[in-house]
Amino acid sequence: MNRDIVLLRTVEVAAIASYKYIGKKDKDLVDQAAVEAFEVMLKNEKGFKLKVVNGEGELDQAPMLFVGQILGDLEDPSVMTYDVSVDPVEGTHPAAYNFAGSIATIAFSKENTMLQLPEMYMEKLFVSTDFIDQIDLSKGIISCIEEMQKHANRKDLKCIILDKPRHKEVIEKMNEMGIIVRLIQDGDVLAAIDVVNGDADFVYGIGGAPEGSLMASLAISSGCKMQSKLIRYEEVWPNEQETKLRKDKEKAWLDKYNLDFDSILDDFDLVADKSARFFAAGLTAGGSLKPVDYKDGKFYVNAFMSSHGMVRNIDSVYDIEKVNVLKPEIKFLFDKYKR
Quick check: helix, strand or coil at residue 48?
A: strand
Share of the chain above pLDDT 90, in %: 78
Is residue 39 a known part of a binding site? no
DSSP bridge partners of 87: 105
What fold is seen in the domain 121-270? D-Maltodextrin-Binding Protein; domain 2 (3.40.190)
Q: What is the pLDDT of residue 273?
A: 97
Q: What is the pLDDT of residue 63?
A: 54
Mean pLDDT for the chain? Answer: 93
Edge to edge, the sheet with strand 158-162 lists 180-184, 158-162, 202-208, 121-127, 225-231, 265-266
Is residue 91 a known part of a binding site? yes
pLDDT per residue over 228-280, tens digit each?
A: 999 999 999 988 888 888 888 899 989 988 899 999 999 999 999 999 999 99
Q: What is the pLDDT of residue 59?
A: 43
282 near 290, Cβ under 8 Å? yes
Q: What is the pLDDT of residue 328?
A: 83
pLDDT per residue over 153-197, tens digit each?
A: 999 999 999 999 999 999 999 999 999 999 998 889 999 999 999
Is residue 90 a known part of a binding site? yes
Given a cut of 60, is residue 62 above it in pLDDT? no
Q: What whole-number distance in Å separates Cα of residue 190 and Cα of residue 204?
A: 12
Q: Write down the domain spans for the chain.
A: 3-113+274-336, 121-270
Is residue 121 a known part of a binding site? yes
pLDDT per residue over 113-135, tens digit each?
A: 999 998 899 999 999 999 999 99
Q: What whole-number distance in Å separates Cα of residue 291 and Cα of residue 192?
A: 16
147 near 188, Cβ under 8 Å? no
Is residue 133 a known part of a binding site? no
| Per CATH, domain 3-113+274-336 is 3.30.540.10 | yes
Given a cut of 70, is residue 200 above it in pLDDT? yes
251 near 287, Cβ under 8 Å? no
Q: What is the pLDDT of residue 159?
A: 98
DSSP bridge partners of 226: 126
Range with the poorest average pLDDT among 28-42, 47-61, 290-304: 47-61
Is residue 31 a known part of a binding site? yes
Task: Determine which helix (DSSP H) or strand (DSSP E) holds 191, and give its type and residue range.
Answer: helix 188-196
Q: What is the pLDDT of residue 1?
A: 56
Is residue 166 a known part of a binding site? yes
Q: What is the pLDDT of residue 90?
A: 94
Q: What whole-number distance in Å separates Cα of residue 339 and Cα of residue 335?
A: 9
CA 265 to chain centre: 17
Q: What is the pLDDT of residue 44?
A: 75
Is residue 111 a known part of a binding site? no
Q: What is the pLDDT of residue 57?
A: 47
Is residue 188 a known part of a binding site? yes
Q: What is the pTM of this model?
A: 0.94
Which carries the bigger pLDDT value, residue 240 or residue 223? 223
* DSSP category for residue 297: T
